[in-house]
Structure 1
Amino acid sequence: MLRGLGRFARTAVTLTLIASWAMPNVAATLVWQWLFQPGYGVVNWCLTRLGWFGDLTQHDWTAHSLTAFAMVWLLVVWQSVPFVALTLYAGLTQIPRAYYEAASLDGAGAWRSFRVITVPFLRPVLGLVTVLSVIWDFNVFNQLWILTQGGPGGSTTTLGVWSFTKAFSSSSFGQGAAIAVFSVAVLAVLTAVHVRGLVRAGEEW
């Protein structure tokens, strides 16, 4: 989408993405909490006005496992969009236009050009974005703690929240530390697999 915009619109969207990315996640989470607030939340008001799901004015999104998970998931995705969008756009700008022109002359459509040219060129960038997103999602804590504190019934409890509650709520510092070390080990394995794939791809090129 950024590629298809004009220069002025693309600059405006880029600056908006950077500004939203620069917002502290605690502040963004508090805004998100207000949007889904029972009674006067904007999301509840809009859905009630649509009339598709009945009256949701007093609906508490954190009271049910599925809606609480969806609420947190949407927040994390929303906060990661600027980084992913700008990184992929930067990767797109490095693809020579000549490849697309040659593909067009050979009769390739937009979908085939995307599959044959764009995806292979962006594969390292996509891998990097995926690994970094997984690492950051493993470390998501503020959003979960402010919105749900791991509830209801532990349905939104991640390793980070579990480690915190074990160490500081239950005073089981050994278990909390063990969970944190396990998280680091899992992330180290995922990163090693990704780096190995990048090295192999570099050798093939």
Structure 2
Amino acid sequence: MSATLAEPDATPRTPKTKPPRRPLNSSAGSRKKKRLPWAPWLLLAPSIVLLAVMVVYPTIVMFITSFTDLEIKNKMLGTSPNFIGFDNYIEVFTKSDFPAVLVRSLGLMVVLTVLIVVGGMLIALLMLRLSKGMRLLVSIGLLFAWAMPPLSATVVWGWIFDTDYGLVNYVLNTITGTQDWRGHGWLADPWSFMMVLTIIIVWQGIPFAVFTFYAGLGQVPDEVLEASQLDGAHSVQRFRFIVLPYLRNVITAVIVLETIWNLRIFTQVYALQQQGGIVSETNVLGTYLFRQGLGEFGVTAAIGVFMVILLMGISYYNVRSSLKEEEA
């Protein structure tokens, strides 16, 4: 027996491999996998129902109403409105001051978005250079500004720019040594009204941009920045060719969000108008839609439809950019 095993010509025996055993419950497992796709829809059902009730249904009603002459008298008398086609849209753009309000809103939106994005990026870069204690102090100050309700912030800033007892007029009188600024109404002039409005919105909107950019700057590799510095790139070149490409998606998201939010401003404008602003010369889309809604519902619905289309067009750019980044 041992001699036979020691022979060099003896071919080694290979153990036979057995085929993998098929699990007995494979059919049951496949049936379970086929039943799983309905689970995500079940989890999303409450959100879908809420969106349908709060967004889809009102949007459909608004779209239908925009083609009718529905007024408050129809609600009081219980009568049905008449279908008038695109007459409401024609009236909005030809027989009202809506075009002027639209231009004012778009111009204000551009100014606010640029100031918030640029200012937020500068403060975020500054926070990287500050010490830990100073960074904490700046963060707390930004959080206080961000946490204050828009109405409360507008009232406080309205007191600061008050005609008779405002802090701004007092400081200007102290600096100039005269009483020329006493009784100066900042909200009475449309341009100074927009300046005060810009200060309020930027003051409250810039913390979001700062914290978002600061978080994004933390994702830029230090090794890449150090290598570029050794190659002789100065700070502007490092920011342009290294930091900006890394923050491209973050900057795009902040720009789109700020654009939408700044186009939908209402509280600050309405509160300042109540404190002395000229309504007809300071209206934006939100306040114009609110004041128009007290009469002709058909015209108001036409304005609302136009705003929805405008906001959807702006949001489409963000979705399209995000999908392109995911495909790449």
TM superposition score normalised by structure 1:
0.91
1:163 is aligned with what amino acid? Answer: L
Q: Which residue matches 2:144?
A: 19
Secondary structure class of the residue paired with 2:247: helix
Using the TM superposition, give the Cα deviation of residue 151 of structure 1 relative to its aligned residue in structure 2, in angstroms: 4.9
In structure 1, C-alpha distance between the alignment counterparts of 2:177 and 2:240, rounded to whole Å? 37
* Alpha carbons of structure 1 residues 41 and 151: separation in structure 2 relative to 1, 3 Å: closer
Q: Which residue matches 1:183?
A: 307
Q: Which residue matches 1:194?
A: 318
In structure 2, C-alpha distance between the alignment counterparts of 1:100 and 1:48, rounded to whole Å? 49
**Is 1:154 the counterpart of 2:280 in the alignment?**
yes
* Alpha carbons of structure 1 residues 139 and 153: separation in structure 2 relative to 1, 3 Å: closer
Stretch of structure 1 that moved more, 65-74 or 106-115: 65-74
Aligned positions of 1:1-80 closer than 5 A: 1-51=126-176, 55-80=180-205
Q: Which has the higher relative contact order, 1 or 2, with Cα contacts under 8 A spaced 6 or more apart?
A: 2
Using the TM superposition, give the Cα deviation of residue 54 of structure 1 relative to its aligned residue in structure 2, in angstroms: 7.3
* Dislocated runs of 4+, deviation >3 Å: 201-204
Using the TM superposition, give the Cα deviation of residue 143 of structure 1 relative to its aligned residue in structure 2, in angstroms: 0.5
CA offsets 1:126-170 (integer angstroms, 9 cap, x no match)? 1111111111112211100110269526332111111101012xx
Using the TM superposition, give the Cα deviation of residue 92 of structure 1 relative to its aligned residue in structure 2, in angstroms: 0.7
In structure 1, C-alpha distance between the alignment counterparts of 2:325 and 2:172, rounded to whole Å? 47
The share of aligned pairs that are identical, in percent, is: 37
1:198 is aligned with what amino acid? Answer: S
Using the TM superposition, give the Cα deviation of residue 4 of structure 1 relative to its aligned residue in structure 2, in angstroms: 0.8
1:199 is aligned with what amino acid? Answer: L
Which runs of 5 or more residues in structure 1 are unaligned?
none
Query: Do the aligned partners of 2:273 and 2:279 also contact (CA within 8 Å) in 1?
Result: no
In structure 2, C-alpha distance between the alignment counterparts of 1:195 and 1:102, rounded to whole Å? 34
Q: Which residue matches 2:93?
A: none
Using the TM superposition, give the Cα deviation of residue 203 of structure 1 relative to its aligned residue in structure 2, in angstroms: 3.4
In structure 2, C-alpha distance between the alignment counterparts of 1:180 and 1:50, rounded to whole Å? 47
Query: Do the aligned partners of 1:151 and 1:157 also contact (CA within 8 Å) in 2?
Result: no
Using the TM superposition, give the Cα deviation of residue 57 of structure 1 relative to its aligned residue in structure 2, in angstroms: 2.1
Using the TM superposition, give the Cα deviation of residue 65 of structure 1 relative to its aligned residue in structure 2, in angstroms: 1.5
Q: Which residue matches 2:247?
A: 122
User: Rg larger in 1 or in 2?
Assistant: 2
In structure 2, C-alpha distance between the alignment counterparts of 1:94 and 1:52, rounded to whole Å? 51
Q: Which residue matches 2:223?
A: 98
* Alpha carbons of structure 1 residues 33 and 100: separation in structure 2 relative to 1, 3 Å: same
2:323 is aligned with what amino acid? Answer: V
**Is 1:173 the counterpart of 2:297 in the alignment?**
yes
In structure 1, C-alpha distance between the alignment counterparts of 2:238 and 2:177, rounded to whole Å? 39
* Alpha carbons of structure 1 residues 129 and 52: separation in structure 2 relative to 1, 3 Å: farther
CA offsets 1:62-104 (integer angstroms, 9 cap, x no match)? 1111111111112111110111111111111111111110110
Using the TM superposition, give the Cα deviation of residue 50 of structure 1 relative to its aligned residue in structure 2, in angstroms: 2.5
TM superposition score normalised by structure 2:
0.58
Using the TM superposition, give the Cα deviation of residue 194 of structure 1 relative to its aligned residue in structure 2, in angstroms: 2.0
1:154 is aligned with what amino acid? Answer: S
Stretch of structure 1 that moved more, 154-163 or 50-59: 50-59
* Alpha carbons of structure 1 residues 153 and 73: separation in structure 2 relative to 1, 3 Å: same
Which runs of 5 or more residues in structure 2 are unaligned?
1-125
Using the TM superposition, give the Cα deviation of residue 52 of structure 1 relative to its aligned residue in structure 2, in angstroms: 9.8
Secondary structure class of the residue paired with 1:82: helix
Query: Do the aligned partners of 2:145 and 2:203 also contact (CA within 8 Å) in 1?
Result: no
Q: Give the count of matched residue pairs.
A: 202
* Alpha carbons of structure 1 residues 3 and 54: separation in structure 2 relative to 1, 3 Å: farther
1:162 is aligned with what amino acid? Answer: Y
In structure 2, C-alpha distance between the alignment counterparts of 1:111 and 1:52, rounded to whole Å? 42
Secondary structure class of the residue paired with 1:178: helix
